[in-house]
């Protein structure tokens, strides 16, 4: 599997800047999720990488981080998808194993004691809100830091094969981009820790604008 372009030292430093901004954005998202849930929630992003677009499914399934055999694109995952627009156009996809996704939101709806025929709808809605708050918190923080306009769409939640979930962003981006960012993400609520991947798939011009903006902002901060 081609794991994408060989990183130059300059590119590696740029990704470190992006990673720091991503972690701050997810901390903001965690605070917003905690307020929404009325319970303490943490979001961690221990690792961020750059992946060739054609290998994004394998990266999203974990083989890039762990040097494990590439998982089959037909493995079933729960995906929370949003598009992004403004100065950075593209896609955001949070992928979680279905049992982890359900366990993550179970405490959020437990007190509602929904009837059996409404439980799936509530789980779906809660997952959408988790994805919406996570992506919005992240994108708002990145936009503020880089002095850009970035806005997310409403979330769509689907449980399907990983390849099928990523098909739409890949079809859109494959003709114009070579790279995508993937972020190992752990969301913890009470005793539940759901580890997945947050794929940030911007169009090339948006990725360049984001890196330039974040790098310039960090340089300004370093000169203070």
- Where along the chain do its domains lie? 9-222
Q: Which residue has the higher pLDDT, 171 or 209?
A: 209
Please, what is the average pLDDT of the chain? 82
Q: Is the pLDDT of residue 177 over 80?
A: no
Is the separation of the CB atoms in 46 and 184 below 8 Å?
Answer: yes
pLDDT of 64 above 60: no
Q: Can you tell me the distance from the alpha carbon of 42 to that of 189, in angstroms, rounded to the nearest whole number? A: 7
CATH class of the structural domain 9-222: alpha beta
Token representation of residue 66: 């762990």
Task: Evaluate whether 88 touches 150 at the Cβ level (below 8 Å).
Answer: yes
Q: Is 109 helix (H, G, I), strand (E, B) or coil?
A: helix
Does 139 score more than 80 pLDDT?
Answer: yes
Closest of 172, 182, 176 to residue 205, by C-alpha:
176
Cβ contacts of 166 within 8 Å, gap of 6 or more: 56, 57, 60, 79, 93, 199
pLDDT at 149 > cutoff 90: yes
Confidence of residue 58 (pLDDT cuts 50, 70, 90): confident
Q: Lowest-confidence range among 35-44, 147-156, 176-185?
A: 176-185
**Tokens representing 28?**
């903001």
0.85 cut: is pTM over it?
no
Q: Please report which confidence band the pLDDT of residue 81 belongs to, taking 50, 70 and 90 as the band edges.
A: very high
pLDDT tier at 222, thresholds 50, 70, 90 = low
Q: How far apart are CA 107 and CA 91, in angstroms?
A: 28
**pLDDT, position 70:** 47
């Amino acid at each position: 599997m081609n794991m994408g372009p060989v990183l130059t030292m300059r590119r590696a430093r740029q990704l470190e800047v992006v990673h720091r901004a991503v972690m701050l954005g997810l901390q903001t998202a965690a605070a917003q999720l905690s307020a929404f849930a009325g319970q303490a929630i943490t979001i961690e992003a221990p690792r961020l990488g750059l992946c060739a677009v054609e290998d994004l499914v394998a990266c999203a399934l974990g083989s890039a981080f762990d040097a494990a055999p590439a998982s089959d694109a037909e493995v079933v995952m729960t995906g929370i998808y949003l598009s992004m627009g403004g100065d950075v156009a593209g896609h955001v996809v949070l992928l979680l194993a279905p049992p982890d996704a359900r366990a993550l939101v179970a405490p959020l709806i437990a007190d509602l004691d929904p009837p059996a025929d409404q439980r799936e709808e509530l789980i779906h809605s809660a997952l959408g809100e988790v994805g919406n708050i996570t992506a919005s918190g992240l994108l708002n923080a990145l936009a503020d830091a880089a002095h850009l306009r970035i806005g997310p769409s409403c979330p769509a939640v689907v449980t399907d094969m990983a390849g099928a979930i990523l098909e739409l962003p890949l079809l859109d981006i494959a003709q114009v981009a070579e790279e995508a960012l993937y972020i190992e993400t752990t969301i913890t609520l009470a005793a539940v820790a759901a580890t997945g991947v947050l794929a940030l798939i911007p169009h090339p011009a948006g990725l360049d604008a984001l890196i330039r903006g974040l790098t310039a902002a960090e340089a300004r901060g370093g000169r203070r």
